[in-house]
Amino acid sequence: MRKILLLLILSVFFGTQAGYAQQIRFLPEKGKRGITGNSQPLPKIVIGRETLDLAPGGLIFDTNNRTILQNSLPVGADVWYQINNDGQIQRIYILRPEEQARLNQKK
């Protein structure tokens, strides 16, 4: 009886983890694509040839959709970023390979 209960619990646990890992991420429509440059002191972020400010409360998401700090943003990463009305970066998403392919097809 305990073995069956243990197997049931493990199957539920691993079943929910697999579904979570394959979650689709929706990027904001009004955004731009760029490549990150060398790191700068906060709040500056280099994308392409532009040096932009990270907005207060601005977020950076890695490929697993976790928020990361500005100094953890890798150099040369393909990103999708959203700018607010003040010209500051509101959100940055480090693109996954499937997102890069999807954006390449839209061109």
Bigger pLDDT: 24 vs 6: 24
pLDDT over 90 at 106, yes or no: no
pLDDT over 60 at 21, yes or no: no
Residue 54: the pLDDT is 96
| C-alpha dist (Å) from residue 60 to 2, 4, 6, 53 | 44, 43, 39, 13
- pLDDT tens per residue across span 24-73: 888 998 999 999 999 889 899 999 999 999 999 999 999 999 999 999 99
pLDDT over 90 at 10, yes or no: no
Cis omega before residue 28 (within 30°)? Answer: no
